[in-house]
Amino acid sequence: MVHAADLVRKAVMRLAWHSGFASGARDRFGGLGSIVMLHRVRPDCISPLGVNRSLAITPAFLEQIIVSLKSEGTEVVSMDEMAERVKSGLAGKRRFVAITLDDGYNDNLTHAYPVFQKHNVPFTIYAAPGLIEGAAVLWWEIAEKLIAKAGILSIPGGPEWRCGTLHQKRAAFHSLMRYFSINLTELEQLPVLREMCAQQGMMCGVPSDQDVMNWKELRQIAADPLCTIGAHTVHHYNLKKLSPDMVAWEMRLSADMLEDRLGKRPMHFAYPYGSARAAGRREADIAAAEGFVSAVTTRHGTIHGEHRANMWALPRISINGRFQKLVYARTMMSGVTTPIANAGRRVVQA
């Protein structure tokens, strides 16, 4: 599926890069470096309707990015090292990139990890224990599978979606996303999804049906010193929709569970969804109070010395399937797209 806005963004980024503007402006906009956000890394596309295609890049593209970063002298660092550099304001050091992957997809182990090992680069995986144990589900992926299968989909006492054609299915997916995000509370989402799955004879919320690493696999990858495991809440809820006590509980329990299962307490945190609608000032203050060294959002931006004062609302650069070309990745990491995406702001915070 091609978004008109994406075509404009791509044209602007190609122009910025090929005109030399992006590389020239890197000193002003690029700051100390970037935190890259990935989700899935796999050679094939398993998004039946194409609507979750943006969550995946190929291992070949990941390797291309790492080779490119190294060739231009950028250092790929761990999140500990990132935090150290921002807090100490180490000027004169080379620009850094920290690579992060959200949700703990099992392709991180099978397809991304070999690339990280080959190039000896550190990486961070933000894991949500509820996704591993079946108390939470990757509902946007289950919804896509559900809509791909269904002819008509309905919520008892709620809306009904016709899913006869591919066009209808895609429209239904976006409508269902809105319904789940806006009309349902975080605690209602899973029971409603289970009911919809039952209607279609589909599994829902069984750990083996999900594409995330199990504890054994997570332990295996976490044992490598290149890997940092960060916390991503227990249930992958939108934290802005929860009470302050629940927000703190989700953060603390996810860290407790990861420490218990992996033997090391996570010091870095990622907000589920991470947009301004899912994480703000209140959530950043709670993450700080819970003792995390850093917390990342999904807001678009590079990392600057100013972030020293607020390490709990760090923006990232999403490298995803919709922008799977080196020219886009390099332009975004140069920082020139940060003010474009943030109403002129060079430094993006909570």
Query: Minimum CB separation from Zn ion for residue 270, in Å?
Result: 7
**103 vs 107 by CB, closer to Zn ion:** 103
104 sits in the region (left: phi over 0; alpha: psi -120 to 50; else beta) called left
Q: Does 103 bind Zn ion (CB under 5 A)?
A: yes
CB of 271 to Zn ion, least distance (A): 8
- Alpha carbon 160 to chain centroid, angstroms: 30
- Nearest of 224, 268, 281 to residue 83 by alpha carbon: 268
Residue number, 240 or 346, with CB nearest to Zn ion: 240
Q: Which residues lie below 8 Å from residue 292, measured CB to CB, with a gap of 6+?
A: 231, 251, 255, 266, 267, 268, 269, 312
Report whether 205 contacts 138 (CB < 8 A). no
Question: Residue 102 or 144: which CB sits closer to Zn ion?
Answer: 102
Q: Give the nearer residue to Zn ion in terms of CB position, either 103 or 290.
A: 103
| Mutual angle of helices 139-149 and 166-178, in 10-degree steps | 150
Contact string 327-346 vs Zn ion (x = CB under 5 A): --------------------
* Smallest distance from Zn ion to CB 236, Å: 6
Q: How many residues bind Zn ion (CB under 5 A)?
A: 3
Answer yes or no whether residue 186 interacts with Zn ion by CB under 5 A.
Answer: no
State the minimum distance, in angstroms, from the CB of residue 336 to Zn ion: 27
Q: What is the largest CA-CA distance in the chain?
A: 61
> Please, what is the Cα angle at 287 between 90 and 133, to 5 degrees?
115
Decide whether 103 or 141 has the Cβ nearer to Zn ion.
Answer: 103
3-state secondary structure of 315: strand
Segments of the chain assigned E as strands: 33-38, 40-41, 56-57, 75-77, 96-102, 123-127, 152-154, 160-162, 227-231, 268-270, 294-300, 314-318
Nearer to Zn ion, 103 or 250 (CB): 103
**Pattern 63-102, Zn ion, x by CB under 5 A:** ---------------------------------------x
Q: Which is nearer to Zn ion, 103 or 283 (CB)?
A: 103
Q: Which residue has the tokens 């593209």?
A: 61
Least distance in angstroms from the C-beta of 128 to Zn ion:
7
Nearest approach in angstroms of CB 157 to Zn ion is 29
Nearer to Zn ion, 83 or 137 (CB): 137
* Residue number closest to Zn ion, CB atom: 102
Picking from 125, 98, 123, the residue whose alpha carbon sits closest to that of residue 316 is 98
Q: How far apart are CA 337 and CA 250, in angstroms?
A: 33
Kindly state the smallest distance separating residue 38's Cβ from Zn ion, in Å: 11
Is there a contact between 36 and 317 (Cβ–Cβ < 8 Å)?
Answer: yes
Question: Taking the complex as a whole, how short is the minimal distance between the CB of residue 102 and Zn ion, in angstroms?
Answer: 4
Binders of Zn ion among 246-285, rule CB under 5 A? 272
Q: Kind of pairing, strands 33-38 and 75-77? A: unpaired
Residue 152 CB, nearest distance to Zn ion (Å)? Answer: 30
Q: Which is nearer to Zn ion, 37 or 350 (CB)?
A: 37
By CB under 5 A, name the binding residues for Zn ion: 102-103, 272
